[in-house]
Structure 1
Amino acid sequence: MRLRDLSLKKKLLVTNALMIVIPIVVLIAIGAVLLGGLRHAGTLQQQALALLWPEEGRTLSVQVALSSLRAESEKRKFKLDNIERDIHVLEGAGVRILTVAKEKDSAYLTPGSNPDELQHIVARKCGVRGSALSWDMDGLVFRYEGLRSGTVIMGVGDVPMMRGDEPPPIPHDTRDFILNAALILLILTTSAGILLLGRYLARLLSAQILTPLEEMRRAAAAIQRGDLSHELPPMGSDEVGATCHAFDEMRRELLRARMREEREEARRRELFIGILHDIATPLTAIKGYASGILDGIARTPEKQRTYAERISQSAATMERLTTRLREFLRLDTDELPLTWETVSARDFLTEYIHEHAPALAEDGVHILMEKTNTAAKIRIDHGEFARVLKNLWENSSKYRRGAEVHVCMSLSEEGRQLAIRCDDDGIGVDAAELPKLFDSFYRTDTARTNVAGGSGLGLAIVRRIMTAFGGSVRAEVSIEGGLCMVLLLPIASEGDMK
């Protein structure tokens, strides 16, 4: 199995294990080197003893050196190199050394010393044969004679004993055991510290990485089950925390998308219910009048003509409804090919009103364009914007107070947008119902009895077209006492006019 195929948890365990094992191995290697060095370097041995027993480190160093000299003198073949480090230790403590050996290159005398004086002092204290040591408060005198090698090592120095009784020299085995035990204890203690520190860091790293990932896994499993309400707890600001934050933001966006989808689905259900209701009303009328003709209820030509006219009116109502519905569905599916052109809003409205005002006046709708100095230009599709104006004026016509309705068109600038106002003096709408006017199939006639009066799609179509233009529409209470529709369009910039 390749490393990248391992789980993140195993990778962290391996990494943490290496973080612990490598320092321990390095520490053991360093300890082994130190042990070897202490074993073969007398100076280091003495320093170690001084560190272990600082109150009598000098005495112990001298004892160790004396023990080493005696052991070397008893060997069959004596070499001065083997005791050179011990000689330096004793000379550092103030001891003068004299060696007498068969080999001339093994003879040694401390520089500046008198051999006859040394031999005289040693003979007086330790005799002239064998090995002996005298160490008291007056100083140190020793004589070591190797019977097999014939080598004699003598020394005299002002090294008083630190205690009343003369302690026996520390054997080599005991000395090495103490040093080795001390170093091994140091290595074990340090290794335990590294192990505990590594375990603590591993737990800390696990809490910083694995815990957030586990929370993400649970949230992902909840999303898979369709539960989008499983919110992640607050995380840090590091890379893992940023990833968790992005994941939770994705969850919230999915939740918002689901809520929008549910609202859209509810709107579509309402749309189809409205369609069925509005189509059923004229269909029922057509069926009733047709049955009246077929059953002989309309016997006279005048009554038959009346029934036929009502059938024609109901069919026309259905035709208008299906036409509006087709327009709305085309806009709802974004199937709206636009031919853009940049025009002066004032000139466009003036010409359009002048062109259609006579026909509207015959129907009792009187359009007036208020004078304005604004020369703002807008970017529109000529045909679709004309459809917007037509739907607004038809809405004013349907909800008039009497036989006539007066509509006032005006222009004003609101920041970087142009506001086109359509005020009428009709029956108006309650303020609570203003935001609902642009919903599909919404009519103030909640019973939906007057299907011929309106389909409930006109203002919904207006909003869709305005949205396609990059603008918006809102409804207000008119100062004329009726309803005011406000079309908001971006004012065209120089770049839009090219």
Structure 2
Amino acid sequence: MSLKKRMFRSNMMILFLSLLSLLAVVFLVLILFEDRIERRFFTMGQSKLDTEVLKAVSLVDHAGTDDIETLEQEMEPIGYQTALIREEQIQAGSTDEQMLKLAQALDTEYLQKEQSELFYYRNATVVVKYIPQENACIVSAHFAKVDFLKTSLLHSSRTLLWVLILISAGVVIVLLILSSYFTKRMNRVVMEPLEELVKGAERISQGNLKEDIRYHGEKEFEDLCLTFNSMQKTILADQERRQKTEQSRIDMVTGISHDLRTPLTSIQGYIKGVIDGVADSSERRQLYLKTAYESTEDMNQLLQKLFDFSRLESGQMPFHMVRVDLCEFVNTCIAQRETVLDAEKLQFFFESQEQLPEILLDIQQFGRIFDNLLENSMKYTNVCPVKIQVRVFNTEESVCLEWKDNGPGVPEEKIGRIFDRFYRCDGSRKQKGSGVGLYVVKYIIERHGGCIWAENDSGLKLTLTFPKAEEE
């Protein structure tokens, strides 16, 4: 059962037990004060009707409007006041204040004609006879003694007050006991995991992200603590990743400074040689200038890679997809590179299946992939000639490109990181490079909806996958 349902059930139980306790207290008090309450109400009931009421009814029933004085004399001994009332005014008889109020309250519309009626009005027993011919009423009333009524009400009020005090006290005590019990129980359920979470938050604020929260109890709070631990691990992993990225950036800046300094120094040296007259012949000056120009080309390539990397990272590199046959396109790329590269230093071996399905490809970005793979093999193979085997084949879901060189490969402990930003297996930086080439390849492949992975197979083998284009 969920915590929400248990809390609802507990609250309902508190309410039910409170009401049950209230009823029990009321029942107990009623039992204890039953006789006293009964006597008080019986006394009050007796004060409502006078014992001489039957005689009063008989006298009024036989009286007429001319007999008011006689009727008044007969009623006086039994405690009744008599009056003749017409249109809320006393025409004859008693003019007592209580009788005046009774005359104003009397409504003849609801009285029976020429018949005596008996009713109780406030603290008075009233006998009325309505005579329609004269539009008048003969009224006799017995008003209860005020002192007796006050005394009775006073005693009843005191008894009721004590009853209410006892009931209230009982209810408060019971509710306090129940609330104390259930509050302590809920505190154990709710506060314990909250305290653990607070301790965990304090540890995080102090920089301790390696210690998990350990809590076993309610499922909801266990899930909350597990989520908190997961968040803590995510923050820790992000911190470590940021530290690695920052270190990689520092290494990149250091490496770029080193890689730029070499061609820049070369350019300065050859230009100075021309200025100082060291290159004293036209052939020698031409050689110096050519070498300086080649150094500027190296610098330009390095800066272009960094510029492309920056555009990729910021999302400013556009992708324009077209349907192509990967086999034909790769074959064209190989032919173009073979025309400008020395065959004694580089050899391509191309293999492909026939009738491959088309893929969606950005031609310019794929050229960047091809050049980065080629440059990576040329730099780190360390053999001559560099032999690159390229194979294009079809799988159930993708069209794959396999790139394999004849170099020494990559140490197994480093092969999983060669696609990271700014990562270089050559920590000593004997080879020029920015450490972003394979990262850019991976980024472009993923933008195409594919993936790339590396393995050692008598050299470094890279496998690139491209999703098949939907049939038109």
**What TM-score does the superposition give when structure 1 sets the normalisation length?**
0.56
Separation in 1, partners of 2:188, 2:32: 40
Q: Which moved more, 1:197-206 or 1:216-225?
A: 216-225
Q: Could you say which residue in structure 2 is the equivalent of 1:28? A: 25
After TM superposition, give the deviation of residue 384 of structure 1 in Å: 0.7
Read off the aligned partner of 1:284 and give its amino acid letter.
T
**Greater mean alpha carbon deviation, residues 405-414 or residues 27-36:** 405-414
Report the alpha carbon displacement of residue 203 of structure 1 after superposing the two structures with TM.
Answer: 1.1
Q: Following superposition of structure 1 onto structure 2, how do residues 471-482 of structure 1 map, counting pairs within 5 Å?
A: 471-478=450-457, 481-482=458-459
Residue 434 (structure 1) aligned with residue 408 (structure 2): no
Aligned to 1:280: 261
Is 1:344 aligned to 2:316, yes or no?
Answer: no
Q: Deviations over 1:461-484 (max 9, x none)?
A: 212212222322223334xx4432
Whether 2:181 is the aligned partner of 1:200: answer yes
Sort the Cα spacing of 1:238 and 1:390 in 2 relative to 1 into closer, same or farther, 3 A: same
Partner of 1:409: 390
Partner of 2:198 in structure 1? 217
Which residue does 1:462 correspond to in 2?
441
**Cross-structure match for 2:350:** 369
AA of the residue aligned to 2:306: L
Structure 1 residues 397 and 236 mapped into 2: Cα distance closer, same or farther (>3 Å)?
Answer: same
Q: 1:473 touches 1:487 (CA, 8 Å); kept in 2?
A: yes
User: Please, which moves more after superposition, 337-346 or 384-393?
Assistant: 337-346
Q: Which amino acid aligns with 1:368?
A: F
Task: State the 1:31 CA deviation.
Answer: 1.2
Map Cα deviations across residues 123-144 of structure 1 (whole Å, 9 max, x no partner): xxxxxxxxxxxxxxxxxxxxxx
Q: Judge conservation of contact 2:422–2:436 (CA < 8 Å) in 1.
A: yes
Q: Shift of the alpha carbon at 1:29?
A: 1.7
1:5-16 residue pairs with structure 2 within 5 A? none
In 1, are the aligned partners of 2:322 and 2:361 still within 8 Å (CA)? yes
- CA change 1:18–1:484 in 2 (3 A) is closer
Check 1:349–1:307 CA distance in 2 against 1; reply closer, same or farther (3 A cut): closer
After TM superposition, the structure 1 = structure 2 runs for residues 174-185 of structure 1, keeping only pairs within 5 Å, are none
Secondary structure in structure 2 of the residue aligned to 1:286: helix
Match of 1:250 in 2: 231
Counterpart residue identity of residue 253, structure 1: T
Q: Distance in 2 between matches of 1:236 and 1:284?
A: 69
Asked if structure 1 preserves the Cα contact closer than 8 Å seen for 2:422 and 2:435, the reply is yes
Q: Find the residue that maps to 1:370 and give its secondary structure.
A: strand
**Is residue 440–residue 460 contact of structure 1 (8 Å, CA) maintained in 2?**
yes
Offset of residue 195 of structure 1: 5.6
**Shift in Å at residue 458 of structure 1?**
2.7
Q: 1: CA distance between counterparts of 2:13 and 2:205?
A: 33
| Identical amino acids, percent of aligned pairs | 28
How many residue pairs are counted as aligned between the two chains?
338
The correspondence for 2:359, drawn from 368, 374, 378, is 378
Q: CA deviation at 1:402?
A: 5.6
Taking the aligned partners of 1:235 and 1:333, their CA distance within structure 2 comes to 45
Contact 1:440/1:457 (8 A) holds in 2: yes
Q: Deviations over 1:23-66 (max 9, x none)?
A: 5544322211222347789xxxxxxxxxxxxxxxxxxxxxxxxx
1:380, distance to aligned residue in structure 2 (A):
2.4
Contact 1:235 1:244 in 2 (8 A): no
| SS in structure 1 at match of 2:304 | helix
Q: What is the DSSP-based 3-state SS (H/G/I as helix, E as strand, rest coil) of the residue aligned with 1:489? A: strand
CA drift of 1:282 comes to 1.7
| Contact kept? 2:22, 2:170, Cα under 8 Å | no
What RMSD, in angstroms, separates the aligned Cα atoms of the two structures? 4.2
Alpha-carbon shift at residue 224 of structure 1 (Å): 4.6
* Counterpart in the other structure of 1:231: 212
CA distance in 1 between partners of 2:328 and 2:285 (Å): 50
Gaps of 5+ in 1: 1-13, 42-186
Q: Distance in 2 between matches of 1:19 and 1:207?
A: 22
**For residues 396-416 of structure 1, what are the alpha-carbon distances to aligned partners after superposition, in whole Å with 9 as ceiling and x for unaligned?**
344566653332221344563
Distance 1:427 1:219 in 2: 48
- The residue type paired with residue 391 of structure 1 is N
Runs of 5+ consecutive residues of structure 2 not aligned to the other structure: 1-10, 39-167
Which residue is equivalent to 1:483? 460
Give the aligned residue type for 1:384. Answer: Q
Contact 2:274 2:285 in 1 (8 A): yes
Deviations 1:178-232 (A, max 9, x none): xxxxxxxxx9999988765543322110111123233333434444555444533
Measured in 2, the distance between the counterparts of 1:426 and 1:265 equals: 30
Q: Which amino acid aligns with 2:311?
A: R
- In 2, distance between residues paired with 1:246 and 1:206? 22
CA contact (8 A) 2:400 2:465 kept: yes
Q: Is this contact kept in 2: 1:289–1:311, CA < 8 A?
A: yes
Shift of 1:388: 0.9
Distance 1:352 1:238 in 2: 60
Contact 2:21 2:174 in 1 (8 A): no
